[in-house]
Amino acid sequence: MKISFLLHNAYGIGGTITTTFNLAQALAERHTVEIVSVLRHREHPNFTLDPRVRLTPLVDLRQEKEHPLHLRPAQVFPAAEYRYRQYSELTDQRIGECLASLDADVAVGTRPGLNVHLARQAPPHVARVGQEHLTLDNHPARLRTALRRAYRRLDVLTTVTEADAAAYRRKMRLPGVRVQALPNSVPDPVLPAADGSAKLVVAAGRLVPVKRYDLLIEAFAQVAAAHPDWHLRIYGRGEEHDRLRELIERLALSGNVSLMGAAAPMEAEWVKGSIGAAASNFEPFGMTLVEAMRCGLPVVSTDCPYGPGEIIRDGVDGRLVPVGDAAAFGAALLELVGDDERRRAMGRAAIRNAERFAPGPVVRQAEHLFEEAIAARAAGRPVTEDRDPLRRVLTGRGFAARDAVHATGSHALRTIRRGRR
């Protein structure tokens, strides 16, 4: 197959860029793959890209930021999309020209606005796959209305969790469009896994309010009081940095909590720790959870919508605690800090259970889905869809059957069984 990914800006930093690079590079082992980056603002990407994957930018902001067409608002990219102000008549034109000349078998959009371009402008012979890296409920009503109109022209829409796939099926009602969960993948680790002996908790991600690093720091104060030889390292950059620094000083945790700045790749930092942590109010997937688990760390996470409950098996490879509850979070951390054997056993379980997010299983799912989309478009018919989301979870798209039953706290199963969200 020839596969083209349409990406907002391959030269930036972010989860969608990471997951797109991961999937593209894994697919490049057997297929011809390219990434089309709408925007470019620097010479080279922040992340190393496999040379087998061709990278093509459309608008170079270093020379074209003041282009007359770039100063006019976009007409195709939906106005309610978060990135709308970065798009213009120039991006409309370049994306349209790119799609019109596309010779790929399948084209993959990686954000709602680009999925709209793909749905409206891809050539008839190209299978159209839209990816959702956030969640339907995260989008404003105006955007959902625009997506409902455009997405009917897609062949496939993928979400990163079963819970979000269920929401799309229930709320958007896209006849003829296959809606399927396709989780993000994390490359196979190259370093030896953590052995659970370090007295270190590690967290990583953008320093923004939704990630609730303030709650994590407050929770860790309980650990520092009982085990002053334990430390917390937080990796990332963002608007919350100064406020978090002030909180650390106010709680007298400067000797125990460190803001480390950004690190890419994170693997070398994960393996230095013994516990991973994530305190988000909202997490569409949870790449850092999977990264930590693949490096041998059990993860303590809030059981927020949507990803953590589909990734972590509470009490087996990590802990799930209520959103916004610093006391419960601290108690879960203390539970693992105070029990060396349990912590190490959960770390070993994390390695085993996170293998379902390795490139191999995820790429096989993607290949099968792309092949079905190509065949269906060639035959002029919809892509056949399994409409039973619970059965998909129980047959291996989420947990295995007994694990899914065990994970009754997961948002995926609660969403499916109660028909909510």
In single-letter form, the type of residue at position 141 comes to A
pLDDT band (50, 70, 90) for residue 385:
low
Domain that holds residue 209: 200-356
Say which DSSP state 205 is in. S
Residue pLDDT, tens place only, 244-259: 999 999 999 999 999 9
Residue 364 is assigned to a structural domain of this protein? no
Q: What is the pLDDT of residue 386?
A: 53
- Cα(51)–Cα(54) distance, integer angstroms: 7
* Whether residue 398 has pLDDT greater than 70: no
Please say whether the beta carbons of 152 and 118 come within 8 A: no
Please, is 351 exposed, middle or buried when counting C-beta atoms within 10 Å of its C-beta (0-12, 13-18, 19+)?
A: middle
Q: What is the share, in percent, of the chain residues with pLDDT greater than 90?
A: 87
What is the pTM for the complete model shown? 0.84
- 95 and 176 fall within a common domain: yes
Cα separation values, 205 from 25, 162, 211, 308, Å: 23, 23, 8, 15
- 217 and 170 fall within a common domain: no
Q: What is the share, in percent, of the chain residues with pLDDT greater than 70?
A: 91
CATH code: domain of residue 229: 3.40.50.2000
- 205 and 328 fall within a common domain: yes
* Whether residue 218 has pLDDT greater than 60: yes
Average pLDDT over residues 250-274: 96
- Cα(293)–Cα(298) distance, integer angstroms: 6
- Cα(35)–Cα(97) distance, integer angstroms: 15
Q: How many CA atoms lie within 13 A of 388 on its CB side?
A: 6
Which residue in the block uniquely carries the two structure tokens 């990163």?
160
pLDDT band (50, 70, 90) for residue 41:
very high
* Whether residue 226 has pLDDT greater than 50: yes
* 418 against 12, higher pLDDT: 12
Please say whether the beta carbons of 46 and 11 come within 8 A: yes
Task: List 35's β-bridge partners, or say none.
Answer: 5, 55
- 151 and 36 fall within a common domain: yes
- 154 and 204 fall within a common domain: no
Q: What is the pLDDT of residue 415?
A: 35
pLDDT band (50, 70, 90) for residue 414:
very low
Please say whether the beta carbons of 326 and 300 come within 8 A: no
* Whether residue 391 has pLDDT greater than 80: no
Lowest mean pLDDT among 288-297, 369-378, 396-405: 396-405
- 44 and 166 fall within a common domain: yes
Lowest mean pLDDT among 227-231, 268-272, 314-318, 380-384: 380-384
The closest alpha carbon to 121, from 75, 59, 79, belongs to: 75
Residue 308 is assigned to a structural domain of this protein? yes
- CA angle at residue 81 from 165 to 384, to 5 degrees? 30
Q: What is the pLDDT of residue 65?
A: 96
Q: Before 68, cis peptide (omega within 30)?
A: no
Residue pLDDT, tens place only, 87-143: 999 999 999 999 999 999 999 999 999 999 999 999 999 999 999 999 999 999 999
- 168 and 213 fall within a common domain: no
Q: What is the pLDDT of residue 50?
A: 93
Report the number of distinct structural domains present in the chain: 2
411-418 vs 162-171: helix crossing angle, rounded to 10 = 30
Q: What is the pLDDT of residue 352?
A: 97
End of a domain among 356, 378, 397?
Answer: 356
